[in-house]
Structure 1
Amino acid sequence: MTPPTISRGKHSQPQPQTERPSHALIIAADESRYLDTVQLNRLEQAFRQWAEDTPRSDVKLSRKRILLIFLLIRYTGAKLNEVLALDPRQDFDYQRHLVVFGKGEDASGRPPREVQIPESLSEEFQAALADFGFKESRNNLFKVDPGHVRRKFYERAAACGFAKELGGPDALRKARAVELLQNNLPLPVVQRILGHSSPNLTASFVSFSEDEIQRVTRFFLEKESRRQTSARNAFFGKISAIQKGDLQTKVEMVTLAGDRVTTVITNDSLARLGLKIGRLITAEVKAPWVVLHKGELKPECSAENAFQGTVGRIIRGKVTTECLVQLADGTELCSVITSDTGRRLDLHEKEPVWALFNSFAVVLHLD
């Protein structure tokens, strides 16, 4: 999908911060006060594991309800009270992948607000509502004590090693806003998503129609979803370290799963890409550069990048063989080896294997 064309007005001098409406100031400069994309993903995985980690069906349903509330705040940036007021039967549009907040219209008289959600999340909610276990509570699925929700959010954040307040509903709302802005979603669109009463449509010198806002948001969510579905031979994450030398630079990144990928690029590339610690980036490795090591023990070798997985699929040809390695987080690494090597390794599906590649085989991409 191509992004919509947006008309830009005449640039003017920025106004002093004190003169801007407070609803425009949603960028947090101090990274210690909100979770970044990698940390949000860790928190989400912790919620999902917690929701399944019980033998009791009634406890599992209760935990899944908290998980659904978390996912709504995490991906819509809505307030906790807005989420708890949702009617699952009327406020979800599964055809257009929308959540409608404020259908009941509060005292302020604001019109309902439509917020786009990822298609995969829309399908997950639809499946949850169809779950027989939720049949009796479907009409009041989100009627949960706010204090109980906050306590569970704090517990999951603490279990991940984060300050508990960073996992609270308000902090997650802020984190989503910062995440959207850092990924170049225009400020007026972010303000509309968050439900600010009077979005500052001149703050970024851009004019949007309602249709353009939906299209811009859909384009961003599709791009975001592609990152999180772990494209083959690609890792998305955040730069954690940069070590600059006289000619080349070593760059380390932390993936959404918490793994580390190391690459070496030229100093010219470092400057041209404008890389810095904390920047989100994609690392890609070509299949012929992925070396396989059969077995469970990590091999002692010179490759800086080593990932343990299982053989997912093998396609054997006369000259070359393609082997697909499935990592624990769902990432797929494809390796192309000679068929002679494939026969010597005697690889089989579901067997443990290590996928290795050195730092010079990694290519970095900006969105």
Structure 2
Amino acid sequence: MKLLLLDPGLSTRSGHNAATLEEVAAHALASGTIELTCASAISLDPANFGGIACTWRPVFRLHGYSRFLNDSDSHEALLRRLTALCMEDLRQLDLAGYDLVLMPTAYPIHLAALSMCVQQLPALRLRVGLLMPPTFWACDAQAAAWLEQLTHGAIDALRAQPGVWLYSETGHYGAGAATVPTATLLPPIAAGTRDWLLDQLARQQALDDRPADRPVVFGYFGDPSTRKGFELLMHCVQNGLPAGMRLSFILPEGHHALAARLDGCGTAVSARTLGAGNIPYLKAMRDVDVVLAFYDPAVYRRQMSGIVADALCLGKPVLTAEGCEAILAFGTREAAGALHCRPADADGLLQGLGTPWTAWRAHRRAALASAHRVLELKRMERHLDTGDREA
């Protein structure tokens, strides 16, 4: 099978984009029958992706994570120009030459361009992951409105094509006032990663519960950003953390200076960065007791978190904030009882950090009980099925 992984936001070897590529490449290599091509941002340097076997096509001139500000009345012209640019880049790839095209993260402008290209390719098999809402790419309300309109139009066009299958992490996707039902899938993992996760779960389930008097280790993963609650967490660190807990910052590569400043900034605080690869990240998550997802509700009201999904796959309970409705709804549906929710402010975060392990035990048991169900949503075969769309 000839497989094209389409990711205009892939340019560095960190984050969920690189992790997905790594997992798809591992699956392709193990299969012996999949020829993988990766189309990425033009700024990607294949030399930074050593060990990943694929054909590289860094063609996209508009980076997937470009943000938009409505600073004029000419946004229609801007959208037309950028969409045409992305269509030119897509035409370089000869989409019809692939048995399957997988776009694991949909970006508004690229999605619009892809929807136009697909109308000329009715036989194309296309899988699109609708992860972040269109507002993710907007710097103001006006830009959000026209990105939502653009995305809604692209989704309508794609849904009309017989070979297109849309999925999201929540079972639905909102673009403005419209909500579209989708299949529910999480970013895929290869069989080797799945086996490793199953082994870790078996070890955890076989072990007796940890001593109640041992400090509870909380893990912060991902970018040190406001939307991920970094500033709120630092406020708590600077004003004194509760007794009986430890905090571990596990930051992406590229944040070495920040990690050095954070490491030891309090008696209960440690920090380090991760190198390339998905397994080192999962190993770091395995070694904490509770995963922090105390995020900004304004962002995560409509957006699920891949970090939360990974924590649940490892049987880890999660501390999250009220108002993170997409995360909370996923927890209720797929991992009931695994999430501990507190008010979305410094007091609420301190309450969560101060929760004793005796209270976390029930959340841990719920997370372990649901881990296999969440893992099933990451099964690679469900993403790469080349048959007709699921009902």
TM over 0.5: no
Considering fraction of residues, name the structure with more strand.
1
* Structure number, greater radius of gyration: 1
Considering fraction of residues, name the structure with more helix.
2
Which interval holds the TM-score relative to the shorter structure? under 0.3
What is the TM-score of this pair, normalised by structure 2? Answer: 0.24
